[in-house]
Structure 1
Amino acid sequence: MKVATWNVNSIRTRQPHVIDWLKTNNIDVLCVQETKVIDQDFPKTPFEELGYHLYIYGQKAYNGVAIFSRQPLEDVTMGFTPIVGESLAEDFDEQKRVITGIFQGVRIVNLYVPNGSAVGTEKYDYKLRWLKVLKQYLTQFLEKSKQELCICGDFNIALEDKDIYNSKSKEDHIMSSPLERESLKDILDLGLKDAFRKFTSEGGQFSWWDYRSGGFQRNRGWRIDHHYLTPKLYEKAISCTIDIEPRKLTQPSDHAPVIVEF
């Protein structure tokens, strides 16, 4: 069983890349982020012709998440509200960032965590509050079911210094500030483990590179796309890799797919 996560940075723009990648990779579940399209305009047909069932939660021009699955998913929900209730979810579901469903007994949670813009801004505060709700959301699944969880997506957080090409001034940089890291660690304390770090402790391996200043060519990247697993599923993981090949294409997404295999 292979589960991949990929911030495609516009599914309509990157549609040929995603189709070609799925044709050459035996992926059971693909979680995509930043689809940037309302549901009725999502290009479903080409992916359905590849044999995927599509579950879509999108909005115009921004955000948006979707799951492509080789088999129909069970118990699909979108947003925080169905799980934590309106009072706790507040207005967070106005941005389409959360979708989940069960594949072969494993609950897949696909996330697009807010970027936060810059430390100390309103968007930064929004990100920290969003992460608190995420913890409550995941707690509901962990406490009320015996399912294993694969929580994946673009977290917009590099948890360790070795996840950044240059960790200078990390305390003041969005995606690596102490409060962001503490918020993510607080979530991981629920019992979740980083699938990628099961197989490598080395730095210098990234999943996102800025389009500017030759970021990819100079490998000036960040590892911000993750798979976090519950303990039993973590033990079943046999690999977790970052496929940088799509990042080499013309007009690529700035992210690369990350694949975990069980």
Structure 2
Amino acid sequence: MTLTVASWNVNSIKARLPNVIEWLEDAKPDVACLQEIKTVDEAFPREEIERLGYNIEAHGQKTYNGVAILSRHPIEDVQARLPGDDEDEQARYLEAVISAETGPVRVASIYLPNGNPAPGPKYDYKLAWMERLYAHAGRLLAYEEPTILAGDYNCIPRDSDCWDMAEWEKDALALPQTRAAFRALKWLGYTEAFEQVDGRGHQYTFYDYQAGRWQKGHGIRIDHLLCSPQAADRLEGVDIQRATRGKPKASDHIPIVGTFAL
């Protein structure tokens, strides 16, 4: 039996609802971790999505940020907010246990801060957030269970994950400190799913709306699935579903879907 876990920055669930519904109907992921829903919990379009057979947990805020987890299986042990800073009001982290038929799988939907302009307070916040994620991700490994930290990490891990590094080398997404913080997460014991199944790069999950980036193929790969050893051992494949980016009123991000033999 397989379990599919997807991550997609939808760039506003209200603006993108027809696209999201179409994708859920076509791709039918067992679990979908959404980012940048840009709505408060009460306004999340639950009825439309529940109609497709999904349970829903959302952690949103007005206008900005916001994350959600959709699951065809029961959702338990929900934790909103990343531990480590009780005063951080930005809705960027949601974690839950999916009670699949094959056993529990822990997933998180992550919208990591962008960090621009760098240097500056926003970049300081990004690095501090990544430090908190590092600490929490380490604690999760102690559970010794399949864990998938899915999300928009706002990190270009390698030069091959960008169409032209000369354009991005001074951006917060590609700075050495950002890449080092991302590598540190992997050194804890996590595997980046795409790298495990396709080390070549040159597949992208984000194409800016400006300057015809999508039409020109000028993308970057910043959406990732980080897998605990118990999940990485069961990883069968990763699919970056490019067709969504070519739809009318598309999100500027593309869903990434991991298939796990659980």
TM-score (norm 2): 0.94
Q: Is the counterpart of residue 12 in structure 1 residue 19 in structure 2?
A: no
Q: Identify, as 1 or 2, the structure richer in helix.
A: 1
**Percent identity between the two aligned chains:** 36
Tell me the residue number matched to 2:111: 112
Distance (Å, rounded) in 2 between the aligned partners of 1:152 and 1:170: 23
Distance (Å, rounded) in 2 between the aligned partners of 1:80 and 1:235: 26
Aligned length, in residue pairs: 254
Match of 1:252 among 243, 250, 253: 250
Alignment deviations for residues 210-252 of structure 1 (CA, whole Å, 9 cap, x no partner): 1000001111000000001112311211110100111001111
Tell me the residue number matched to 1:97: 92
5+ residue gaps, structure 1, are: 82-87
Judge conservation of contact 2:145–2:228 (CA < 8 Å) in 1.
Answer: no
Distance (Å, rounded) in 2 between the aligned partners of 1:259 and 1:169: 28
Tell me the residue number matched to 1:135: 134
- The 5 A counterparts of 1:174-189 are 174-189=172-187
RMSD (Å) for aligned C-alpha atoms: 1.1
How far is the alpha carbon of 1:18 from its aligned partner?
0.6
- The 5 A counterparts of 1:201-212 are 201-212=199-210
- Runs of at least 4 residues of structure 1 off by over 3 A? none
Q: Which amino acid in structure 1 is aligned with residue 179 of structure 2? A: R
Q: Which amino acid in structure 2 is aligned with residue 133 of structure 1? A: R
Q: Which amino acid in structure 2 is aligned with residue 91 of structure 1? A: E
- The 5 A counterparts of 1:186-225 are 186-225=184-223
- The 5 A counterparts of 1:235-246 are 235-246=233-244
Tell me the residue number matched to 2:154: 156
SS in structure 2 of the partner of residue 5 of structure 1: strand
Alignment deviations for residues 36-55 of structure 1 (CA, whole Å, 9 cap, x no partner): 00011111100000010000
Judge conservation of contact 2:59–2:68 (CA < 8 Å) in 1.
Answer: yes
How far is the alpha carbon of 1:203 from its aligned partner?
2.7
TM-score (norm 1): 0.94
Q: Is the counterpart of residue 48 in structure 1 residue 50 in structure 2?
A: yes
Distance (Å, rounded) in 2 between the aligned partners of 1:247 and 1:169: 22
Judge conservation of contact 2:55–2:72 (CA < 8 Å) in 1.
Answer: yes
Tell me the residue number matched to 1:78: 80
How far is the alpha carbon of 1:171 from its aligned partner?
3.9
